[in-house]
Amino acid sequence: MECLLYVLVSISEEEKRAQLLLNLSVEKPVLEEDVELQWRPMFNALEFLPLPEKAKVLDDGRVLIAWPLRSDSDPARYISALTAANVFVMGALEAFEDGGYCYVELPKNGESAVRGNRCAEEEVFFSPRRVAELLSSATS
């Protein structure tokens, strides 16, 4: 069963958003020395993170990122990398190809993100727009 980790982030600063998208793309920098000093913390935080299947810019500076998860993948790795890159994570959920989704509980007080038990039957795997709605309303 395929699983996508959807993460909704918010970045109001356009240049920082562009850097995030770059660091999540196949064109991402390879060596730290090729990165401007101010963006090196982001590069280091995301350097070894697997590339997402999609990173889509929504309105209001939000970006919805979708990573295909393997059975041994831990969503916390992705959330903590984004947090270390100083990117504000609004919400995250795991969507399953055969239907249903479960929210990922975001870290509190320095702990790691964890798979939560807030789940629903609705099919959202192929509906990034619906995922964005769910993650936005969960945080509002």
Partner 1 sequence: MSQHIEATRRVFDESCALNSEGRKLYYKELVSFVREWLISLPEDYAPYLKTLFFQGLLPEEHEKAMRAMEPLLICLCAPSIDREFIVSIFREYPIYCAAHAVELFRVHFDPNEEEKWGEVIQRYRYVVECLADQRVPWLEDPEEAGRFPFLRLYVRVFAKLHNGTSASQTVGATMLDYVESQFEKVKDLPASQEFLLSLRKRLTALLAGEADNPELVYSDPVLLEFLNRYSSKQLPPSLQLMVEEIYSGLSHHIDFFNGEIKY
- Strand, helix or coil for residue 89: strand
Total Cβ atoms within 10 A of residue 94: 21
Query: Using the rule CB under 8 A, is 54 a contact of partner 1?
Result: no
| 91, 108 Cβ separation under 8 angstroms | no
Q: Would you state the structure tokens that stand for residue 110, as one six-digit string?
A: 């320095």
CB of 30 to partner 1, least distance (A): 4
Query: Rounded CA gap, 14 and 116, in Å?
Result: 32
Residue with tokens 């309105």: 59
Query: Using the rule CB under 8 A, is 136 a contact of partner 1?
Result: no
Query: Using the rule CB under 8 A, is 37 a contact of partner 1?
Result: no
CB of 77 to partner 1, least distance (A): 8
Query: Using the rule CB under 8 A, is 31 a contact of partner 1?
Result: yes
CB of 29 to partner 1, least distance (A): 9
Query: Using the rule CB under 8 A, is 47 a contact of partner 1?
Result: yes
Nearer Cβ to partner 1 (20/90): 20
Total site size for partner 1, rule CB under 8 A:
12
> Which parts of 62-121 interact with partner 1 (CB under 8 A)?
70, 72-73
| 4, 95 Cβ separation under 8 angstroms | yes
φ and ψ of 98, to 5 deg: -90, 20
Task: Indicate which single residue of 13, 15, 38, 51 sits in contact with partner 1 (rule: CB under 8 A).
Answer: 51
φ and ψ of 113, to 5 deg: -65, 150
| Chain residues in the site for partner 1 (CB under 8 A) | 26, 30-31, 44-45, 47-48, 50-51, 70, 72-73
